[in-house]
Structure 1
Amino acid sequence: TGTNRHTASYISGEICDVIDSLESEKVVALVTDDASNMQAACQMVTCKFPHIATIGCAAHGLNLLLNDRMRLKTLEKVHQTSREVIKHVKRTHVVAATFQQKQESRDGKGSSTTLKLPSKTRWGGVTLSLQSLLRNKEALQETVILEDLKGNKSARQAVLDEDGFWKPLRSCLELVTPISSAITELESDKALLSDVPEVLHSIKTEVITKLATST
């Protein structure tokens, strides 16, 4: 029922039913996120099937890693300012209409990139959000310099500030892209458990390289 479907007991029962239907000896591992009810359910499953190993979801772990990274002051500031700029454009009718005109003038009708707000729970979307801003940089600047559209002063200043906003945004994007790309790869239906070590090594290598060359 809706009341008990999130309890550890209910979840473990559902998982055990699936394992039984597959023949338990054919199942060697169970992958879940780290929610408390899922962890408790895993313990119940392994009590019944001791040969089954329980493994945390790599994509979920990388989402948590990205969440922690975005709490760094420099990245958090970029994220907050980016959200402010996007909200200002999308939620102010006149600004949104003008911005769309600038987009179409530069990119052609139907070819422009929509500004995207990231999800509050899935941090992989922060990369798409920052990319959408960067791809619309010129259209945004052409929009905010118009005299009759100077409503949000801080958003306007950010869009026109190369050193204070756009350079940090590019640096932030370089640091989060390896993680968000890995999340997408590991969330794929074709992803294998054996892919995880290589993906994690790739993240480490890319981030170290970016940090070494960043200014």
Structure 2
Amino acid sequence: RIMNLCVHCKLGTAFLESKEASTDAHTILYIFNYVVECIEKIGAENVVQVVKDNASNNMGAKEMLKGKWPKIFWSSCATHTLNLMVEAIGKLKQFGPTIIKAKQMTIFLYAHHKTLSLMRSFMKKRDTVRPGVTRFASAFITLQSLVSKKKELRAMVCSDEWEACKHTKTVKGKAANTTIMSRGFWKNVSLCIKARFLSHW
């Protein structure tokens, strides 16, 4: 794991340094010592705020930093906070199954050359956004992308080309077909997207 240090000032944001720390235990003390080392390089008098995500080790380092430099603020990363909010929304019973179905459907479409080619043909070579592994918010971005292509997806699964494709006869293919044609699925997708936008207000 690489730890990157960026500095923001009135001139903009600049990359300062990175540290290869994949073999190190990221304990509270480890994080604290690294932050202290970086602050001392810049000069504590030049630092107003430290921004990190909400991991428990970072929160512990925050308390230690307050003891050393009470005038330096430690703030939680807004992006990470929003991602945690979206992740919590995605775990709700009314949203979780919908996100899982969307993932399964997009994975199926991208898993085979024929289905991928067919999808791109109906979508004028535009791709759906596939769910990422690390950032839960990407699932909601995928849902938005799917909604914008709902008409094309439905036309695709009703086409002769889809019917002739051997992959669509499999269990996963039939599940993808059912998902795309399900009114309930699209209704829940819309609810998921609305919930995501509400969480940002």
Tell me whether the two structures share a fold, i.e. TM-score over 0.5.
yes
Q: Is the aligned partner of 1:148 residue 2:168? A: no
Amino acid across the alignment from 2:144: Q
The one of 70, 85, 88 equivalent to 1:65 is 85
Could you list the runs of 5+ residues in structure 2 that have no partner in the other structure?
1-19
Q: Is the aligned partner of 1:116 residue 2:129? A: yes
Cα deviation per residue 1:10-49 (whole Å; 9 max; x = unaligned)?
3322211222233323433322212232223223322321
- Separation in 2, partners of 1:15, 1:48: 11
Are the structure 2 counterparts of residues 36 and 171 from structure 1 closer, same or farther at C-alpha, using a change threshold of 3 Å? closer
In the alignment, what sits opposite 2:16? none
Could you list the runs of 5+ residues in structure 1 that have no partner in the other structure?
183-202, 204-215
Q: Give, in angstroms, the shift of residue 97 of structure 1.
A: 1.2
Q: Give, in angstroms, the shift of residue 92 of structure 1.
A: 2.1
Tell me, yes or no, if the aligned pair for 1:95 and 1:143 is still in contact at 8 Å: no
Runs of 4+ in 1 over 6 A off after TM superposition: none
Tell me, yes or no, if the aligned pair for 1:5 and 1:11 is still in contact at 8 Å: no
In the alignment, what sits opposite 2:179? 158
Tell me, yes or no, if the aligned pair for 2:53 and 2:77 is still in contact at 8 Å: yes
**Structure ranking higher in helix proportion:** 1
**Structure ranking higher in strand proportion:** 2
What is the number of equivalent residue pairs in this alignment?
173
In the alignment, what sits opposite 1:192? none
Please show how residues 172-191 of structure 1 align to structure 2 within 5 Å.
172-179=192-199, 182=200
Cα deviation per residue 1:97-145 (whole Å; 9 max; x = unaligned)?
11111122xxxx5xx2x11222233122123201221122222222222
RMSD: 2.2
Q: Is the aligned partner of 1:126 residue 2:142? A: no
Same amino acid, percent of matched pairs? 27
TM-score of the superposed pair, with normalisation by structure 2: 0.75
